[in-house]
Structure 1
Amino acid sequence: MKKNVWNAEDLVVYDDDNYTIINKPAHLSTLEDRNDSANVLKLFRAIDDNYQVCHRLDKETSGALLLAKNEEAFKVAALQFQERKVEKVYHALVKGRFMNEVIQVDVPLRTSGSGRVLCDKRSGKEAVTLLRPKHFFKDYTLVEAKPITGRTHQIRVHLAYLNFPICGDELYGGEPIFLSSIKKGFKSKPNQEERPLFNRVGLHSRSIKLTNVNKNIISCNCDYPKDMDIILEKLSKFN
């Protein structure tokens, strides 16, 4: 299997004296991962030891990730995350037709010993997500998610709670997408197992907005990665 090689500078979509925003690829950890030597923090500390990651994205999630270049910038961002002033928008691909309205999911979450996150209204921590349909396909929906809180796996678990697990998210019941499931009349080759068109967690951090150290607004959008572009194109064509 071909190993990914990432160049830090190729990931940058915004840069100033205090912050760098990157479009994180899927399968690249934010921080050190015992199963992989590469991670975002390591890549950027090779450029400057002062870099700090201001929040996390799951390994399979792509998109906007904020890094601070100095301690003051890190503290300014941390306070905004704490006060819920950082605006983050995610796009998630789910199977089925999502509700045609804005939904607020207010269900507390708890991390189990296995690392799986559970809905727990009694002993979980507050977790709030706003959800709305962004685009309808025949059998799938692209959902826009705005997390108000920042719990681990929050969007993934809240969508699964609504019985709309994210495509490819096997941990929470999401299924991979096969061409045979979206293209009418498609038949795979005899004696050959069909491979998924999309088999990672279909979640992308589309944008981030916050206030810089100098009180100016930073707002940045991140394009879809190639695999998400392709699956959305195929869904538009066949579904």
Structure 2
Amino acid sequence: MKIPKFTDLILFEDDNLIVVNKPPFISTLDDRGESEGEINMLRLAKSYHGDAQICHRLDKETSGALIIAKNPETYRFVSMQFEHRKVKKIYHAVIEGTHVFNDLLVDLPILNAGKGNVTISRQEGKHAETYFQSLKFFKHYTLVECRPVTGRMHQIRIHLATQRASIAGDAMYRGKPVFLSTLKRKYNLGKDQEEQPIMKRFALHAFELTFNITPETDITIHAPYPKDFDTLLKLLEKWDM
């Protein structure tokens, strides 16, 4: 995989923090089980600014807006906003099926079962809330806006799965990859070629963040879709309307 240039990822920067558009397939921090020296967002950030600290996490496959502090004071200031649910987070996801979500609130507790697994548990789970709003309808898929109030592991993914609306390509929650052959009639694959999915990950992108950069000033940052997410939407618009 080509290592991105950190400066190409920057969406916003001031004296105290940076917001980047995290590419897919790069971990936010050092993950257990990864080979030593494998690139991650923290290492990329520290190569740009030695005191860089990452204020929140995105799953390895998830792309989008990520806040990085340049000093300990800013790290604490932004982290406290996440802890007190003051950061407004908007994600976009492509889900299976046609679903009319009109500010649907999913309020189901999530239990972290360890080793990257989570489950819904009304007895042992931690409080978790996500709002969902349908943005665009295709024949077999829907583009949805997801607004998590809390920040549990895999929260958006498992909350969508409970609505029988798994994210496309999210095998952990029964989401299937999207193949062009299922959308386009008379699709011909070359001899001895194996068809690849349009996206080689689940279709989830951290689209927007609103937070305070000083106690008096807030800011909203938009993260443009990466190429794979953009391509999926363009192909759905062309072949699945």
Task: Give me the TM-score of the superposition, normalised by structure 1.
Answer: 0.95
In 1, the alpha carbon distance for the partners of 2:9 and 2:210 equals 18
Q: Which residue matches 1:188?
A: 189
Amino acid corresponding to residue 173 of structure 2 in structure 1: Y
Residue 78 of structure 1 and its aligned partner are, at CA, apart by 1.3
**Match of residue 27 from structure 1:** 25
> Which residue in the other structure is 2:41 paired with?
40
CA distance in structure 1 between the aligned counterparts of 2:156 and 2:183, rounded to whole angstroms: 25
Q: Residues of 1 paired with 2:114 and 2:91: CA distance?
A: 27
Alpha carbons 1:88, 1:146 under 8 Å: kept: yes
Root-mean-square deviation (Å): 1.3
Point out where structure 2 has 5 or more consecutive residues left out of the alignment: none
User: Which SS does the other structure have where 1:20 is aligned?
Assistant: strand
Residue pairs, 1:113-152, within 5 angstroms: 113-152=114-153
Contact preservation (8 Å) 1:73, 1:213: no
Any stretches of 5+ residues in structure 1 without a counterpart? none
Q: 1:29-178 to 2 correspondence within 5 Å? A: 29-33=27-31, 34-35=33-34, 37-178=38-179
Show CA shifts across 1:158-206 (max 9, x none): 0011111111111111100001111123243444332211230100000
1:183–1:238 contact (8 Å) kept in structure 2: yes
Alpha-carbon distance in 1 for matches of 2:100, 2:135: 11
Answer yes or no: is the 8 Å Cα contact 2:95–2:166 preserved in 1. yes
Task: Give per-residue Cα distances to partners, 1:22-76, cap 9 Å, x unaligned.
Answer: 0000001100134251011111112222111000000000000001111111111
Distance 2:48 2:78 in 1: 21
Structure 2 contact 101–132 (Cα < 8 Å) conserved: no
Shift in Å at residue 18 of structure 1? 1.2
Q: For residues 195 and 227 of structure 1, what CA distance do their matches in structure 2 show?
A: 12
Kindly indicate whether the alpha-carbon contact (under 8 Å) linking 1:178 and 1:196 is maintained by their aligned counterparts in 2. Answer: yes
User: What TM-score results when the alignment is normalised by the length of structure 2?
Assistant: 0.94
- CA distance in 2 between counterparts of 1:35 and 1:182 reads 36
Q: Is the 8 A contact 2:107 2:129 kept in 1?
A: yes
Is 1:128–1:147's contact at 8 Å kept on the other side of the alignment? yes
Deviates more, 1:35-44 or 1:10-19: 35-44
